[in-house]
Chains A and B, each alone.
Chain A
Amino acid sequence: MVWLWQNLELVLGLALDHARLSVVPIVVSFIVSIPLGWVASQSRILRTILLTLGGVLFTIPSIALFVTLPIILGTRILDEINVVVALSIYGVAVMVRGSADAFASVSRDVIGSSTAVGFSRWGRFWSVELPLAGPVLLASIRVVSVTTVSLLSVGSLIGVTTLGYLFLDGYQRTFPTEVVIGIAFTVIIALVFDAVLVALGRLLMPYTRALPKAGRASVTRVAAEVTS
């Protein structure tokens, strides 16, 4: 604990960097996955193509992606942008599946009814499908958020300043406290992000609290499948 107080500035600085670098991939994954997921929910063939593509992207190890991206993007190997792009790719790969399931979980009857009362395709998407897909979308973005925060620490291996620096430094100096503080702050950031997402979900989707028990169960079930 003494070490933490003495190095508070370093730790908080790294934590801020860590949080800052995590935000972009999470936001990008969310925005990109929604149209992709909606498209995937419209046709079986597109669903298969998109989910397979997502699966393939996810097989690339993070360090491998961090190293190869500079060559594809033409950036420098130690550039932060590599890590941000790599984590966005992972985020989309994970989230596309959840997003496809989210839109598929919207009852066909409801879509039929909303068309019947005169919604245009565009209006139906914003006012009916998106709000109803919301709970499952939230479940998937929460998984993306946790994974991103955790994976980002690997970035330190290629020299990007994240909390992972504390792991490397602590390990090289045989100083477990530093490693533990690194882990603790990573978990804290993940928890804070998760809490923010849940709070946003409550704020934007007040109707989920009125969801009948069965509806809620199906949300947790789909969430479990997404995370598996």
Chain B
Amino acid sequence: MNFFIDALNYIFDPANLTGAKGILPRLGDHLYYSGLATGIAVVIGLPLGLAIGHTGRGRAFVIAISGAARALPTLGLLFFIILFTGLGLWPLVAVLAILAVPPIIAGSYAGLESVNRQTIDAARAVGMTEWQVLWRVEVPLALPLIIGGIRSAVLQVIATATIAGYVGLTGLGRFLIEGLSVRNYTLAIAGAILVAALALLVDGLLALIQLLVTPRGVSRGVTSTAPRTRTPLRRAGASL
């Protein structure tokens, strides 16, 4: 356990906070790469997911593509791109965005599909246009799942942005890499703790946003679990 205590000491030592190899500038870089990649992934994934969820078309295609993208090892892909483009920010951002797009698409179309069909029909019946149905009914009701998708994308991006340290960039991954290369495990573990803490913090923030944007009356449990039969037996069955 000494490694952990040493690592925590390293993190909380003010001397390690700033400077060229300090925690704060690397934290800033880590957030910058992650934010950029997530932003691009949202711009690509959200419209696609909403289009699929609203029209109900192309779902099988997207499930197949998402599955294939998941199988692609991010590290290999990054090295491959860099061998052609050279080192730089954009290969990393591109690879992270590729990682983030599938969960965002899946979250947004699953969100729209979880909206009760009768609610949508009712919205059409009172004269809403398709655009209004999408933005005033479907998206608000689907928001918890849409943000859920973005949440898991962000989580993966922050965790994976660690590899930036291997390709000439910085970020919190540098601590891990520098530590491992000189067998300074205190430093490596400090890096590990920092990345995990950042991921947890950002995930907590997004969870909070998820709660805040959920329309009153739409509890997460109702939209995120499979459909159940709502008969008196349900209660009876549960108590048996």
Contact = CB atoms under 8 A, between A and B. Distances in A.
Nearest to A42: B238
B222 to A, nearest CB: 12
Contacts, number: 188
Main secondary structure of the interface of A (DSSP, over half): helix
A65 B192 contact: yes
Contacts of B74: 150
Main secondary structure of the interface of B (DSSP, over half): helix
A69 to B, nearest CB: 10
A111 B238 CA distance: 9
A179 B228 CA distance: 47
B76 A109 contact: no
What bracket does the count of chain B residues touching chain A fall in? 35 or more
Interface string A84-124: 00000000000000000100110111011001000000000
A227 B76 contact: no
B36 interface: no
Nearest to A47: B221
B231 A183 contact: no
A218 B80 contact: no
A46 B216 CA distance: 24
Contacts of A59: 155, 158-159, 196, 199-200, 203
A140 to B, nearest CB: 12
A64 B110 contact: no
A218 B226 contact: yes
A15 to B, nearest CB: 13
Interface string B197-240: 00110010000000000000000010011111101011011101
A108 B166 contact: no
B70 A150 contact: yes
B76 A164 contact: yes
B70 to A, nearest CB: 5
Interface in B86-124: 102-103, 106-107, 109-110, 113-114
Contact of A176 (B83, B224, B240): B83
A112 B226 contact: no
A190 B71 contact: yes
A129 B44 CA distance: 39
Interface in A164-181: 164, 166-168, 170-171, 174-176, 179-180
A227 B71 contact: no
A62 B159 contact: yes
A186 B192 contact: no
A153 B237 contact: no
Contacts of B188: 67
A55 B159 CA distance: 13
A17 interface: no
Of B75, B163, B176, B237, most buried by chain A (CB within 10 Å of CB) is B75
Given A154-B75, A221-B114, A228 B162 contact: no
Given A63-B162, A218-B226, A179 B76 contact: yes
Contacts of B70: 143, 146-147, 150, 227
B71 A146 contact: yes
Nearest to A176: B83
B3 interface: yes
Given A61-B159, A224-B110, A183 B196 contact: no
B123 to A, nearest CB: 20
Of A59, A115, A163, most buried by chain B (CB within 10 Å of CB) is A59
19 contacts: A61-B192, A65-B192, A105-B225, A108-B228, A108-B237, A115-B240, A142-B67, A154-B73, A167-B75, A182-B73, A218-B226, A218-B227, A220-B63, A224-B63, A224-B106, A225-B110, A225-B145, A227-B66, A228-B106
Interface of A: 44, 55-56, 58-65, 67-68, 71, 77, 101, 104-105, 107-109, 111-112, 115, 136, 142-143, 146-147, 149-151, 153-154, 156-158, 163-164, 166-168, 170-171, 174-176, 179-180, 182-183, 186-187, 190-191, 194, 218, 220-225, 227-228
Given A104-B226, A150-B71, A227-B67, 15 more contacts: A64-B162, A68-B192, A101-B224, A105-B227, A109-B234, A111-B240, A136-B226, A146-B71, A157-B180, A180-B80, A190-B71, A191-B71, A223-B63, A224-B113, A228-B152
